């Protein structure tokens, strides 16, 4: 029966003859062989587990009978919770299986005799702002063994979840005290009577899952992406926490009023979905939606949901916005060299901030990005943070399916361990900086040389070559490190009076260039791209 089940689900004979018949214990050699590269039966572990458990959960039996807490990596076979056979689990899974398959198969055989199958047809009958009523049908097999049912309720905030359960002998239950700001999931498990003083020994697997809100859907994150009319491509990011017993995937929708349109991968939409490689993040899923040939009809709200659910979402609203028409910030941004000078002490570690002569668009040069590893290990994290400067390259990085451990190099909002930067992420540097440069593609080039001309007294006139694509220039000035003054000009010239510091930025509808900074000392106005102006003040 179980072998036929495995065969029907596409498991090859070399795999199901050893793994899908718990009445015949595979010998030690075959326990290893089935997971070796030639047979690679691990890729079928999900359908194998489904057929072995047959809707039962004998996890308590497996753990109690075996007493080897260090080998829990394969016990998903006992309760049907194996979701995937990732490469990163292979060694632990194999060690667990080889050592404990006698216990696992023995417990499964007991479960076939004494554990009921799952309750059927769980449904939400009614709900209010604070309560929800459920009902279900008895198990298809061994319903007469059921002693009670457990209703498992999970409360979700989008980032965290807490679980609780309630016991009843009936086939219906009213949940009360619910909160409109939470999302909820419910499933039911049928329990047989106690065995060895434990009511969890013989029980069913989980019923179908019901997901619901008593209030509106829960927004995990709401974001706004400001883009001008001339946008041609937009990439959006999504991160969600997986829902236990729901699909381990997600879907994107565009919302138009109350209507939602599910987006599929096409020439128009490119969707990438993957789970982080880190075991501590196995309940997280990432995705990127790339919208090609973007036009005015593509502005609006985009959401991602765990697939086939509608209880919580990650949302980005793409809004029409022209950066050149907005008021400038009260203070200018730092230059890259300023950031490096403030945070990195070793001079030879600052090559990340070298200003390239080939392009004024950015001081980031991928071919100069990595200073010597042997002497700049501790500085590398800070060096890379200096290049963020408000750039969010995460959507692009996720679209290239970068490991989660490296996303901190795409945006500083993500955690980043130094050991990951040094070793694990090194091979991804080219992609990361391709994404960063892509984020700057439509912004103006940085200014070339600014030429000061003395007019009279403390008045100077700054000239510079017009920057291609720039619509306006933001000019910041101040004296003796006082409060910044800012003005907006359409021309490539500006008069400055009684000031000793200036920053000029080119702006177009997509954003701004990197800043061009000047400082006045006894030698006149000079461009500076680092934080050594205190030395100038000391000279004065």
- Helix (H) or strand (E) segment spanning residue 155: strand 146-156
Q: Which of 79, 84, 46 is nearest to 282 (CA)?
A: 84
Residues 162 and 208 in one domain: yes
Please say whether the beta carbons of 470 and 513 come within 8 A: yes
Q: Give the pLDDT score at 419.
A: 62
Residues 3 and 108 in one domain: yes
Q: Which residue do the tokens 């509106």 mark?
A: 216
Identify the three-state secondary structure at position 131. Answer: strand
Q: Give the pLDDT score at 406.
A: 87
Kindly state whether residue 533 falls inside one of the protein's structural domains: no
Neighbours of 326 (CB within 10 A): 13
Kindly state whether residue 204 falls inside one of the protein's structural domains: yes
Q: Which residue do the tokens 């940085």 mark?
A: 446
Kindly state whether residue 327 falls inside one of the protein's structural domains: no
Handedness of CA 53, 163, 125, 260 (dihedral sign): negative
Residues 21 and 106 in one domain: yes
* φ/ψ of residue 435, rounded to 5: -65, -40
Domain boundary among 285, 320, 355: 320
Q: Give the pLDDT score at 386.
A: 64
Residues 147 and 170 in one domain: yes
- Burial status of residue 77 (CB atoms within 10 A of its CB: 0-12, 13-18, 19 or more): buried
Q: Which residue do the tokens 């500076």 mark?
A: 528
Residues 423 and 480 in one domain: no
210 bridge partner residues:
186
Domain boundary among 193, 213, 233: 213
Q: Give the pLDDT score at 153.
A: 98
- Helix (H) or strand (E) segment spanning residue 252: strand 250-256
Residues 19 and 80 in one domain: yes
DSSP state of 99: H
Q: What proportions of the chain, in percent to the nearest 5, are helix, strand and coil?
A: 30, 30, 40
Domain boundary among 213, 239, 270: 213
Residues 341 and 412 in one domain: yes
Residues 265 and 241 in one domain: yes
Residues 375 and 393 in one domain: yes
> One digit per residue, pLDDT tens: the chain, 540 residues?
889 999 999 999 999 999 999 999 999 998 888 888 888 888 898 899 999 999 999 999 988 765 555 456 788 899 888 766 554 355 677 888 888 899 999 999 999 999 999 999 999 999 999 999 999 999 999 999 999 999 999 999 877 899 999 999 999 999 999 999 999 999 999 999 999 889 899 999 999 999 999 999 999 999 999 999 999 999 999 999 999 899 989 999 999 888 899 999 999 999 999 998 776 677 899 999 999 999 999 999 999 999 999 999 999 999 999 999 999 999 998 876 676 666 666 666 655 454 433 333 333 333 344 555 556 655 665 666 665 556 789 999 999 999 988 888 888 788 766 665 666 788 888 898 889 888 788 899 889 889 999 999 999 999 999 999 999 999 999 998 999 999 999 999 999 999 999 999 999 999 999 899 999 988 899 988 643 333 333 333
Please say whether the beta carbons of 331 and 476 come within 8 A: yes
Residues 299 and 394 in one domain: no
* Structural domain span for residue 312: 218-320
Kindly state whether residue 31 falls inside one of the protein's structural domains: yes
Q: Which of 445, 478, 475 is nearest to 463 (CA)?
A: 475
DSSP state of 411: -
Identify the three-state secondary structure at position 404. Answer: helix
Kindly state whether residue 538 falls inside one of the protein's structural domains: no
Kindly state whether residue 346 falls inside one of the protein's structural domains: yes
Please say whether the beta carbons of 271 and 252 come within 8 A: yes
Helix axis angle, 45-53 to 90-114, nearest 10°: 20
Q: Which residues contact 322 (CB under 8 A, 6 or more apart)?
A: 228, 229, 509
HEC readout, 168-210? ECCCEEEEECCCCCCEEEEEEEEEECCECCECCCCEECCCCCE
Q: Residue 242: which CATH number?
A: 2.60.40.10
Q: Give the pLDDT score at 378.
A: 57
What's the total number of domains in the chain? 5
Kindly state whether residue 325 falls inside one of the protein's structural domains: no
Residues 263 and 200 in one domain: no
Kindly state whether residue 509 falls inside one of the protein's structural domains: yes
Q: Give the pLDDT score at 376.
A: 64
Q: Give the pLDDT score at 358.
A: 39
Residues 280 and 261 in one domain: yes
Q: Give the pLDDT score at 534.
A: 35
Using alpha carbons only, how large is the chain's radius of gyration in Å? 31
């Amino acid at each position: 029966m179980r072998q036929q089940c495995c065969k029907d689900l596409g498991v090859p004979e070399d795999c199901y003859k050893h793994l899908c018949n718990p009445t015949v214990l595979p010998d030690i050699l075959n326990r290893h062989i089935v997971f070796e590269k030639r047979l690679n039966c691990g890729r079928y572990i999900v359908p194998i587990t489904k057929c072995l458990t047959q809707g039962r959960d004998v996890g308590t039996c497996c753990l109690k009978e075996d007493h080897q807490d260090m080998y829990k990596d394969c016990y998903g076979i006992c309760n049907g919770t194996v979701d995937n056979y990732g490469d990163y689990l292979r060694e632990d899974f194999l060690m667990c299986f080889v050592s404990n398959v006698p216990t696992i198969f023995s417990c499964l055989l007991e479960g076939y005799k004494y554990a009921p199958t799952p309750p059927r047809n769980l449904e939400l009958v009614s709900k209010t702002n604070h309560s929800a009523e459920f009902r279900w049908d008895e198990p298809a097999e061994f319903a007469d063994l059921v002693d009670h049912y457990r209703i498992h309720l999970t409360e979700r905030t989008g980032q965290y979840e807490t679980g609780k359960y309630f016991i009843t002998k009936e086939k219906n239950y009213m949940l009360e005290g619910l909160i409109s700001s939470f999302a909820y999931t419910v499933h039911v498990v049928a329990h047989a009577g106690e065995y060895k003083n434990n009511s969890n020994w013989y029980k069913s697997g989980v019923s179908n899952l019901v997901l619901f809100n008593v209030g509106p859907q829960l927004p995990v994150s709401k974001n706004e992406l400001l883009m001008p009319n001339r946008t041609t491509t937009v990439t959006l990011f999504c991160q969600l926490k997986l829902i236990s017993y729901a699909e381990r995937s997600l879907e994107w929708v565009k919302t138009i009023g109350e209507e939602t349109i599910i987006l599929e991968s096409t020439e128009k939409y490119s969707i990438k979905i993957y789970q982080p490689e880190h075991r501590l993040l196995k309940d997280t899923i990432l995705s990127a939606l790339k919208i090609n040939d973007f036009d005015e009809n593509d502005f609006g709200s985009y959401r991602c949901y765990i697939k086939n659910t509608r209880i919580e979402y990650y949302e980005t609203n793409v809004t029409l916005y022209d950066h050149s028409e907005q008021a400038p910030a009260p203070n200018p941004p730092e230059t890259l060299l300023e950031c490096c000078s403030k945070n990195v002490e070793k001079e030879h570690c600052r090559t990340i901030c070298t200003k390239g002569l080939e392009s004024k668009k950015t001081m980031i040069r991928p071919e100069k990005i990595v200073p010597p590893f042997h002497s700049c290990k501790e500085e590398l994290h800070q060096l890379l943070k200096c290049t963020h400067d408000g750039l969010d390259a995460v959507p692009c990085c996720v679209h290239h399916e970068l490991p989660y451990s490296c996303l901190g190099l795409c945006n500083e909002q993500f955690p980043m361990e130094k050991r990951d930067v040094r070793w694990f992420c090194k091979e991804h540097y080219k992609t990361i900086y391709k994404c960063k440069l892509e984020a700057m593609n439509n912004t103006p080039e940085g200014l070339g040389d600014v030429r000061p001309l003395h007019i009279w007294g403390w008045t100077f006139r700054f000239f510079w070559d017009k920057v291609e694509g720039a619509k306006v220039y933001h000019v910041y000035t101040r004296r003796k490190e006082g409060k910044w003054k800012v003005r907006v000009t359409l021309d490539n010239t500006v008069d400055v009076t009684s000031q000793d510091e200036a920053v000029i930025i080119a702006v177009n509808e997509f954003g701004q260039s990197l800043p061009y900074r000047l400082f006045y000392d006894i030698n006149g106005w000079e461009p500076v791209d680092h934080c050594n102006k205190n030395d100038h003040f000391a000279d004065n």
